[in-house]
Structures are given as structure tokens and as C-alpha cells.
Amino acid sequence: MILHEETERNEMADKMKSRKEGDITFFHPDLLEVPENERPYLKGYKCKGCGKIWFPKFIPCPNPDCWSEDMEIIRLSREGKIYSATDVYIGQPSMRDYMPLIVGYVDLPEGIRVFAQLEGEINSFQCGDEVELITGPIRNNGRGEPIISYKFRKMAKK
Amino acid sequence: MSSLRKVYVLGVGETVFGMLEDDYHILGQRAVRAAIRDAGISWQDIQSAFVGNGTNGITTGQRIFRDLGMCGKLPIINVESACSSGAMAVHCAYLKVATGVDEISIGVGTENASLHREPGSAPSPDMTDIEGFLGAVMVAKYALRAQRYIYETGATVEDLAQVTVKNRSHATNNPYAWRKGKITLEEILQSRMIATPLTLEQCCGMTDGAGAVIVGSEKMVKKLGLSKRVRIEASTVVSGPFSIGPKDETADDIVTLGTKKAYEESGIGPEEIDLVECHDAFTICELLYYEAMGFCKKGEGIKMLREGEVTHGGKVVFSPRGGMLSYGHPMGASGAVQIVENVRQLRGECPGYQVEGAQTAMSQVTGGGVQGTQHAACTTHILSI
């Protein structure tokens, strides 16, 4: 009996540990929806209490006069504008494989600014460029596998 | 605020900055002992201690004071808000005296980064922060601001590099500074790219060091017979306004908030301030802060720099010690050592880098990056003599 409990406890500890080390391959169902036959989109959280739209997910609503826990998920625009972009050559120790890394702030029409990795050539992004949401690897997990999440790339010129 | 007592700086101490073999607690002890000597007091006179450290561990303050034999003799409280930690520790010591709880208290900032951090990597928000998880490092966030500043104002990367030229030159004769003296625009621009447009020589180094500030009441100043009385006119801490919407990244909401509060608390305006030690972790920061602190109008920071208004002989001397671009930026230490250096300037104890006739000095240090804020914290001090 005692032995059995020990084993269970160890299994639980292992499970917790692997979760802490990060074995996810998708970041994150609360942020990003990738429908089968449609293009991916970011999930906005519209507060049913005060009407404000949030990204990422906040529960409760961070409006201190509201703090409602009731949120409606809405689709955020897939297209936005670069506020600023930079090519990063020295990053986090675990991100060596991803250098140089292009990152930027993307302004969405909903009045939301998103920090994101950008896919494209270094030295090619300008303030004001129009970009669209795609998915791709953003870092590796604890097992060295890529984690898929949202990124942006330049829109094809119309 | 009127019920607060006047608070003075009784003594200051710092270590030489650089990549050092001694860990944070030894550096902290050195700064504490130097400050006690400078104040001419006994360790027994110190009634409380606040210790700022960013990343070196837990119960860092007790680790410092145990080795000095002071544990068990006074309360020790550890203070952490990333880069703002050291200044926040001094703020806490200030409050302890201002509110009349203690007559003498000490604020310490210390950090050894080089022994603990992986070389060739950059500090970042932690992995619970969405931007941190997506690979943001602090230098990238500042690079994004620099790119936008260049886009909006027509400033050039050469303009940014001039901040390094100025600050290294200021530090030439400062025995505590690390990288100092002449550096050319070419050397700065040709150094390794970290995050466009910021090259290595436009970024603060990963260094180690410590600073300590002993504060006391008017009664203690009289008792010690201090002839050079540096008073803390304002000591303010603010947290970063949060919004997920667009922010003007060429402005700085929290720095404007923090300095405005300090100006109100002290009744001193930017036109009366002789020198500033700011959070010049990257060249772009100074330009943003000239404007955010109200030393010039929005968009005119670049003009101030070009016209020599922020160096000796100008309107206000920014970074007379050489700033973080010369000292490097040991997270927990910087905020405290800015105050140490401002005290020395007001006492006229900076041969070769003295701001002549300095009577009022400000220091400002932000801390941390949390998604939706420009910085998590900002601590501001205004001192006068």
C-alpha cells in the first residue's frame, strides 16, 4: 500500500516536472485558433461587463472597476500594420537557433498592439508595412521540438 | 506629504564597476563599509537595511550583513524590481527616516551579473510574460523604440552613437567607471550588431558592482556635524501604466509620471536641475528621457544632444559619471550607485568629472518589462545641497 502511494506520488512529480520544463508544441489555444479549412486568427476577449477587448486572455477583466470573469471570444483581424521592427542578433540563451530573430509591434484595427516574431528577410521591415498573420515555429520546447504559434509576414503587394 | 521629516544623505560608498570575481554579497559588503566610513558613524547606528538585487538569489540582504556581523541587530528587507531595485532600496530607507520610524537607515544595491549569466545572451522578461515567451529581450524592446524614433524624428544612428561618445568622455577621469575615454563614431557603429540599430557599443555592458547610501534625519546631521548636507528633496516610486493598445514608444509614460511626481514633491522643476543620471542602458534611452523628463519639448531631444545642451557647459549635464554606457548595468546596483555619484557631485568630490557649481541632481532608473507597460517600475530621486 505504502509502495503504491509512493509510485503514484513519483508519477505525479514527473508529470509536474515535464510540464514545468515545457513540452508544449503549440502556443497557445487561448491565443490562437488554427481552423482546418480556414486561415488562423488570434482570439480577442471581449469583456461582457465593460465591453473592452483584451489580448491576450485576462481573467478577470483587468479593468479594476470591472473585474468581470465573463468574456466572449472574438476573432481579431488577421491583418495589421508594423509600428516598429528590429532584427535581433543577441537573444535569450535558449533561442540561439532562431537568431537573427526579426520581431516587431503589429497594430491591429481593433486598437490592439501585438508583439510578434516576423517572418521574412532581415533588414526588410519598415514602420507602416502591412502584414498578415501566419503560423510557424517561435522557439523550441524542453525536448528540442519546435513550438508553433502566431507570426506575421508582409502582405503581398496588391 | 508635509508630515514627512527632512531626510539627508549621511554617507555613500561604491565599488569599482566591471566584470568582477567577487560575488554580489562581497561587493555589497564593500559598498556598505565604504558608506559607513564616509558617514563617520558606527555600524550600530544603522537601524534598518534595505537591499536591492535583481537576479542573484533569495535573502541576498541577510547574506551581505551576516558576514559583517550585523545580522540579528537590525531588520533587513530585500527589495526587487529588476533594474530599479537599488534605487527602490534607497527609497525604502528614505521612507523609514522620513516617517520618523528610524533616525538612520541604509539602502544598498548590488549585483554580480557576469558570474551568473550566460555570456552572449541578453536579459529578457520571464517566461510567464507573453513577450518574453515570444523571444523578447530588453535590448529588442529598446531597439523597437529606437527604430520608431528614427522613423518619426529623422534622427540618425550616428546621433544615437553620440550618446556613447558623450558618456564615455564624461567618465574619462571617474575611477569607478568601467568603459571610459575616447571612442569614435566609427568604432561604435562598426561594433557588433545586437538589435538594429543598436550596436554593442550603444548598449550597457554586463558588469558587476555595488553602491550603498546611508540616510538620516536632521537630528543626525547636526549630531555628526556634517558640513556638506545633501538633502533628499524627492524620492518617488511609480508603477508602469498598463494598456494593450498602441503607445507612443518615442515617449515614456512612466518616466514622465515618475519625474512629474518628483518635481511636485520637491517643488523643483527641470530648469533648476544641474545634472541627471538616467537609465541610459541603451543610447536611445537618453534621447527619450530628455523629452519625457521635460528638459525639452517632444521631438527636440536630438537637438539638445546635437547642440551640446546635455554635457558640461550646457543646460543640464546628463550622465556626468558616464552613465550605464560607461559603468555597465548590474541590475540591482545601478539605481543605488547613481545616487552615490550624485551625492559626490553635489559635495564637489568628482575631480576631473565635476559638474561645476552643481546644486541639484536627479537620478532616474526604470525596471523590468511587463507586456502592456513601457517599464514595470520607475524610481526617481532629486537631491540638493
Active-site residue identified among B71, B83, B285, B296:
B83
Whether the predicted pLDDT of B258 surpasses 50? yes
Whether the predicted pLDDT of A158 surpasses 90? no
Residue A35 forms contact with B (CB below 8 Å):
no
For residue A68, what is its C-alpha cell? 468581470
Candidates B310, B314, B247; CA nearest to B283 is B310
A-contacting residues of B 242-281, CB under 8 Å?
Answer: 242, 244-247, 249
Helix (H, G, I), strand (E, B) or coil at B121: coil
Beta carbons within 8 Å of B174's beta carbon, 6+ residues apart: B180, B321, B322, B326, B350, B352, B353
Whether the predicted pLDDT of A19 surpasses 80? no
Q: What is the pTM of this model?
A: 0.94
Distance from CA of B134 to the nearest CA of A (A): 6
Please judge whether B136 and A115 are an interchain contact, meaning their C-beta atoms are less than 8 angstroms apart: yes
Q: How confident is the model at residue A17 (pLDDT cuts 50, 70, 90)?
A: low
Position A7 scores a pLDDT of 61
Mean pLDDT over each residue of chain B, to the nearest integer: 96
How many Cβ pairs closer than 8 A exist between chain A and B?
Answer: 103
**Alpha helices, DSSP H only, in B154-233?**
157-170, 185-190, 218-224
Considering CB atoms only, which of B135, B148, B244 is closest to A101? B135
Distance from CA of B121 to the nearest CA of A (A): 5
Position B369 scores a pLDDT of 82
Q: How confident is the model at residue B125 (pLDDT cuts 50, 70, 90)?
A: confident
Considering CB atoms only, which of A93, A98, A138 is closest to B118? A93
Beta carbons within 8 Å of B374's beta carbon, 6+ residues apart: B240, B241, B247, B249, B252, B253, B254, B255, B366
Position A4 scores a pLDDT of 60
- Average of per-residue pLDDT across B191-202: 97
- Average of per-residue pLDDT across B297-324: 97
CA distances from B295 to A58, B253, B304 (A): 38, 15, 9
Residue B130, φ and ψ in degrees, nearest 5: -60, -40
The Cβ-side half-sphere exposure at B31, using a 13 Å CA radius, reads 38
Distance from CA of A85 to the nearest CA of B (A): 6
Whether the predicted pLDDT of B1 surpasses 80? no
Mean pLDDT over each residue of chain A, to the nearest integer: 90
Residue of B nearest to A81 (CA): B246
Residue B121 forms contact with A (CB below 8 Å):
yes
Position A6 scores a pLDDT of 60
Residue B134 forms contact with A (CB below 8 Å):
yes
Position A21 scores a pLDDT of 52
Considering CB atoms only, which of A55, A92, A101 is closest to B121? A92
CA distances from A58 to A40, A53, A146, B47 (A): 21, 10, 26, 43
For residue B377, what is its C-alpha cell? 517600475
Residue B120 forms contact with A (CB below 8 Å):
yes
Helix (H, G, I), strand (E, B) or coil at A52: coil
Separation of alpha carbons B333 and B249, rounded Å = 26
Lowest mean pLDDT among A123-127, B23-27, B119-123, B188-192: B119-123
- Average of per-residue pLDDT across B126-140: 92
Please judge whether A89 and B143 are an interchain contact, meaning their C-beta atoms are less than 8 angstroms apart: no
Position A1 scores a pLDDT of 47
- Average of per-residue pLDDT across B100-120: 93
Full 3-state SS string of B258-323: HHHHHHHHHCCCHHHCCEEECCCCEHHHHHHHHHHCCCCCCCCHHHHHHCCCCCCCCCCEECCCCH
Q: How confident is the model at residue A16 (pLDDT cuts 50, 70, 90)?
A: low
Whether the predicted pLDDT of B67 surpasses 90? yes
Separation of alpha carbons B257 and B332, rounded Å = 22
Which chain A residues are closer than 8 Å to B148 by Cβ? Answer: 83-84, 127
Position B123 scores a pLDDT of 86
Whether the predicted pLDDT of A2 surpasses 60? no
Position B20 scores a pLDDT of 95
Residue A104 forms contact with B (CB below 8 Å):
yes
Position A92 scores a pLDDT of 92
Distance from CA of A153 to the nearest CA of B (A): 15
| Tally of CB atoms within 10 A around B345 | 25
- Average of per-residue pLDDT across A26-55: 95
Per-residue pLDDT tens over the stretch B272-303: 999 999 999 999 999 999 999 999 999 999 99
Q: How confident is the model at residue A15 (pLDDT cuts 50, 70, 90)?
A: low
Residue B119 forms contact with A (CB below 8 Å):
no
- Percentage with pLDDT > 70 across chain A: 85
- Write the DSSP symbol of residue A26: B
Which chain A residues are closer than 8 Å to B134 by Cβ? Answer: 103, 115-117, 138-139, 149
Per-residue pLDDT tens over the stretch A79-91: 999 999 999 999 9
Distance from CA of A106 to the nearest CA of B (A): 9
Peptide bond into A28 cis (omega under 30): yes
Residue B154 forms contact with A (CB below 8 Å):
no
B378 is catalytic: no
| Tally of CB atoms within 10 A around B278 | 25
Position B126 scores a pLDDT of 84
Position A13 scores a pLDDT of 61
Considering CB atoms only, which of A84, A103, A123 is closest to B136? A103
